[in-house]
Structure 1
Amino acid sequence: MPVRTEGTPCWADAMFSDVEGAKSFYGDVLGWTFGESSSEYGNYTQAHVDGKAVAAVVPPMPGQEGQSQWCLYFASPDAAATADRIRAHGGEVLMEPMRVGDFGTMCLAREPGGAVFGVWQAGVHEGFEAAPGEPGAYCWAEVFTRDPERTDPFLTAVFPYTAKQIDDAAVDFRLFDVGQDPVLGRMRMTDEFPPEVPSYVNVYFTVTDCDAAVARATERGAVLRFGPMSSPFGRFAALSDPQGANFSVIDVTTTEGEMPATTDV
C-alpha cells in the first residue's frame, strides 16, 4: 500500500490500563486478533483483521494513567515540519517528533479546540493495512470540538485540506478533503455534551451489522451514547468502551436518505 497523502488518517491506537480487557472487548465486538506485544516499545500490541494491521493497544506509561481514549494519526512526509506548523497556528505539541525504530516518526499534539491527535511520518510501518470498508477496519473520523472557530482554520493551515460546510441549519458540521477525497469531519459540540467532556477525535470502525455490534458491545459493558441511526453514509452508533474510550461503529452498506448538500468555505 503506498504511503498516504499528507493529512490523511493513517493509524489509530489507544492506551488501556487493562490491555487484556481491551483485547477481549474489541476482539469480540470488531473481530480483532492481536499480535505479540513489543516490550521494546512499551508492550505496544497491534490488532489485525484477516492478518492486516488495523490498530494497536498499549498500556499507559508510568504517570500517564487516566482516561482511555483513541488517538488518530495523520500522515506527514516530515513530522518536524508538521510540528512547526502546529505551533505556529495555535496548537500545542505534546510530544516532540520521535523516531520509533525503523517503523517511522511520531508526534502527539493538541489542536486549539482541545482535541488530541497524532502525526505519523511512515518508515516501514505505513499505517492501516485494511481498507476502510473492510469489517473491523478504520472507516472515518470526526473532530468533536467546542471551538470550531479556532479548530477549522488550524486544520487547513497545518494540513493541505480544502473545506466544505454541510448545508444543515440543525447541525454545524464541516468536511475536510485531500484533493477530491473527504478524509475528516468536524462537529461542533453543543450543550448536549456534558461540560466535563473535552474535545476529542471520534474514530469509526466498520462493522457488517451495526445493531449486532452495539448489542455485543453493550453486553460486554460498553455504554451506548447515540444511535443506532441510519444515514446516507451508513448505519452507525456512538459508544464508550468499558474503559471509557469513545468510538463509533458503522455499517456502510446500510444507507438511508440523500447525501447532504455542501458549500465550499
Structure 2
Amino acid sequence: MVSYPEGTPCWADAALPDLRAGQRFYGELFGWTFREAGAADGAAGAEGAADAGGGGRTGVFAQSEGKLAAALLHKRDGRLPTVWTVYFATPDAAALAARIRAHGGTVISPPGPVPPYGTAALAADPEGAVFGLWQAATRPGFEKIGEPGAYCWTEVYSRDKAVVDPFYESVFGFGGHDLDSWEPGLAGFRTWSPAGAEPGPETAIGGRTLAVDACPQLMPARFLVYFTVEDCDASAETAARLGGRVKAAPFDIPYGRIAVLHDDQGTEFAVLQDRSAASGANAEEAAGAGETAGAAVAGEGARGARRGGDGGDEASARGDAAVAE
C-alpha cells in the first residue's frame, strides 16, 4: 500500500444540505459519477467515517473516470457550515491530535476508528480553520489527482502569520517558503512542503495566504480546495448556469488560469486550468481579482505532489479515501 508523508492532503469532502442537488451540480461540472458509500470495492461507508470524524453523515463517493476523487456528505445539522474539508495524512492520529492541542489548535472530533480502513478526526488551527486527519490502515489515497475532475491544491486563508505559520510548521513539520521574493505579486503567500523535502513550489503540498485584503473581517479563517479543470472559463459559466456563483472570475496566473466559485448551496471551492492549457499569465490580473495570488503555485504544487511519495504520480494524491466513507 502507498504511504504518504505526514501532513500531505489525502482527501476532500463537501458537507451539503441537499445531497442530490450536490450530485447534479458536481456531476455536470466535473463529470463525476457517484456511488453509494459502502458499495463495491470495499468502501467503508461515508456514515462510518463521518461518525468517527464527527457528524454522523451519510454520503456518496464521487468518481472521475472510475477513480475516487472526493465525497459528498449529507449535512444533517443546519447550524454547521456548508464547506469543502481537506484531510491530512498522519501515521498516528492520536499523537497528531495531541500536538494540535499543545500548539494552540482544537480537536473538534477526536480520532475514531473507521474499521478496517483507518482512523479519522477533525481539528481546527488557532484561528479556527477546520481540517481533517486521516491515519490510513488498508485504504489508499485519492485515486486521481492533478488531472481534470480531480483535487490539485489547498491553501488556508489566515490573518496572522505569526500565529498560523508556527502552528502548522510545528504540528506537521512543514518546511515554509515565502514567495514574495520569488514571484511578483505573491507577497503574503507561503508554501508548505512535507518534512524532509526542500521547501519551495516544486515540493509544495499546500500554502498559507494572508486574507486581510481578500476577505471581510467577519469571514472566518478557512481552507480553500482546488480542482483541476480542462477549461476554467467554461467551468465558471457552467457553475453559474447550474445555480452557483462566480466569486472571482477566471484570471491568469503564472501556472495557469483559476476561478473561485460557489456551488448552488453556497459551498466555496476553486478551479485551476493547468498552464499547458491556459491562454497566458498575468500576475497583476490575479492580484486585482481580490483573491490570493498564491494560487499561482497551485499548478506547480499539484505536479510536485504527484512526484512525491512512494507510489508514483497518484501516490501523492494524498492519503486515504476512506476519510469520507
What is the TM-score normalised by the length of structure 1?
A: 0.91
Indicate if the aligned counterparts of 2:120 and 2:135 stay in contact, CA closer than 8 A.
yes
Listed as ranges, the matches of 1:95-174 within 5 Å are: 95-132=109-146, 134-167=147-180, 168=184, 171-174=187-190
Mapped partners of 2:15, 2:89: distance in 1: 20
2:231 matches 1:209: yes
Q: CA deviation at 1:246?
A: 0.8
Q: Which shifted more, 123-132 or 251-260?
A: 251-260
| Bigger share in helix | 2
CA distance in 2, matches of 1:86, 1:147: 17
Verify the 8 A CA contact 2:9 2:89 in the aligned structure 1.
Answer: yes
Letter paired with 2:70: A
Which residue is equivalent to 1:71?
85
Per-residue CA deviations over 1:40-95 (Å, capped at 9, x if unaligned) read: 5342311000111010011124x464331000001101111110110010100000
Structure with the larger strand share: 1
- Mean CA deviation greater in 144-153 or 160-169: 160-169
Deviation at 1:257, TM superposition (A): 6.0
| AA partner of residue 155 (structure 2) | E
What amino acid does structure 2 have at the position aligned with 1:18? D
Corresponding residue number in structure 1 for 2:281 = 256
Q: How many residues align?
A: 258
Q: Does 1:182 align with 2:220?
A: no
The answer (yes or no) to whether the contact 2:236–2:249 under 8 Å persists in 1 is no
From 40, 49, 60, the equivalent of 2:75 is 60
Residue 37 of structure 1 and its aligned partner are, at CA, apart by 3.3
Secondary structure at the counterpart of residue 35 of structure 1: strand
Deviations 1:169-208 (A, max 9, x none): 6631100012141001111111441233211100000000
For the Cα contact (< 8 Å) 2:5–2:89, is it kept in 1?
Answer: yes
Could you list the per-position Cα deviations for residues 98-124 of structure 1 after superposition, in whole angstroms to 9, with x for gaps in the alignment? Answer: 111212111100001221000111122
Whole-angstrom CA distance in 2 between matches of 1:201 and 1:228: 20
Match of 1:82 among 76, 87, 96: 96
Runs of at least 5 residues in structure 2 that lack an aligned partner in the other structure: 39-44, 49-56, 284-295, 298-325
**Residue identity opposite 1:256 in structure 2:** A
What do the CA deviations read for 1:1-35 (whole angstroms, capped 9, x no partner)? Answer: 61211111010011111000011101111111111
Could you tell which deviates more after superposition, 140-149 or 35-44? 35-44
| Residue pair 2:36, 2:60 contacting (<8 A) in 1 also | yes
Identify if the C-alpha distance between structure 1 residues 204 and 216 changes in structure 2 by more than 3 Å, giving closer, same or farther: same
Deviation at 1:227, TM superposition (A): 2.8
Contact 1:113–1:148 (Cα < 8 Å) also in 2: no
Q: TM-score, normalised by structure 2?
A: 0.75
Shift of the 137–188 alpha-carbon distance from structure 1 to 2, 3 Å rule, reads same
Q: CA deviation at 1:147?
A: 2.2
Q: Within 2, Cα distance between the matches of 1:221 and 1:171?
A: 34
Letter in 1 for 2:118: G
Match of 2:54 in 1: none
Deviations 1:130-149 (A, max 9, x none): 032x1110000110112222
Contact map agreement 1:67 1:244 (CA 8 A) in 2: no
2:262 corresponds to: 240
Residue aligned with 1:26, SS = helix
Higher relative contact order (CA 8 A, sep 6+): 2
Contact 2:17/2:78 (CA < 8 Å) preserved in 1? no
Q: In angstroms, what is the RMSD of aligned CA positions?
A: 1.9
SS of 2:29 mapped into structure 1:
helix
8 Å CA contact 2:159–2:210 kept in 1: the answer is: yes
